[in-house]
């Protein structure tokens, strides 16, 4: 499944700068589909474009997802840590410090 909806999500995710993260719900809201966080997840899990930094999207609690552990367990976390994204002791991203807040779409 792909098409214009997935393309809209990918366009937003491409804008997330290194060292920042966004949530699935945040991406859905930015795309004008506020109740479609799960669809964002499906889109990112289906994405094969290396220009889309899917690893920068986490759940609403800051949790990483195994679908992005493409090389081995912990790949998503390692990629985020390499960009300077801080994690809490419970293994979740510290959203208060690094959640992306774009100025304008």
98 included as an active-site residue: no
Q: Which of 36, 47, 54, 98 is catalytic?
A: 54
Distance CA 92, CA 94 (A): 6
- The span from the first CA to the last CA of the chain, in angstroms, equals 25
Q: Which positions are annotated as active-site residues? A: 54
């Amino acid at each position: 499944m792909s098409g214009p909806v997935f393309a809209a999500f990918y366009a937003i995710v491409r804008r997330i700068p290194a060292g920042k993260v966004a949530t699935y719900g945040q991406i859905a809201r930015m795309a004008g589909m506020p109740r479609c966080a799960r669809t964002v997840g499906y889109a990112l899990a289906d994405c094969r474009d290396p220009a889309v930094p899917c690893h920068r999207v986490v759940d609403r609690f800051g949790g990483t997802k195994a679908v992005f552990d493409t090389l081995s367990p912990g790949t998503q976390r390692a990629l985020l840590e390499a960009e300077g994204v801080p994690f809490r002791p419970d293994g979740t991203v510290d959203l208060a410090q690094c959640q992306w807040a774009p100025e304008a779409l």
